[in-house]
Amino acid sequence: MTRTIRPAGSDDAATLAAGLAALSAEIGEPHRMDAAGLAAAMRAPEPPFRALLAGQGSLALYSPVFSTVIGGAGAYVSDLRVAPDARATGLGRRLLAAVAADASERWGAIYLTLAVYDDSPGARAFYDRLGFAAVDGQARLSLDPAATARLKGEP
């Protein structure tokens, strides 16, 4: 069965939240975003992300990035999940292709980037097969919300 991939809207926030919560549980990460927060973000004048849905539980969530090294805009895929009953069907590849097409149309993206957990060899093998590669000499760094607030001079 081929699953239709479609853009998620704010009315899909509960479905998106459920899929993201399932992904967090599968990879053993905390989950701090609820449906109301997703819906509010999706209704913002400049939404901070876009999302695609493909049936129950399969999704991609992504946002714009820009690289002067690569020479253009890209899409950072922060979350990709294929529901267990749809794995090994090509849906993951189709979701990423749809992300690439949408991001290209929306903001001229010419590349995709993402992070994969060290303890997810199946996910890493999937990304390797598609041609994703580690960037030599780079490490992914993050400033948490509290440190970001301090950086901005907030208490």
Question: What structural domains does the chain harbor?
Answer: 6-151 (3.40.630.30)
Q: Which two tokens stand for residue 33?
A: 């975003």
Tell me the per-residue pLDDT of 67-83, one tens digit each, with 9 for 90 and over: 999 999 999 999 999 99
Question: Which run of H or of E encompasses 64?
Answer: strand 59-67
Q: Percentage of the chain surpassing pLDDT 90?
A: 88
Residue 65 has pLDDT above 70, yes or no: yes
* CA–CA dist 147, 118 (Å, integer): 25
According to the model, what pLDDT value does residue 139 have? 87
pTM score of the predicted model: 0.93
According to the model, what pLDDT value does residue 1 have? 62
According to the model, what pLDDT value does residue 155 have? 84
* CA–CA dist 127, 114 (Å, integer): 9
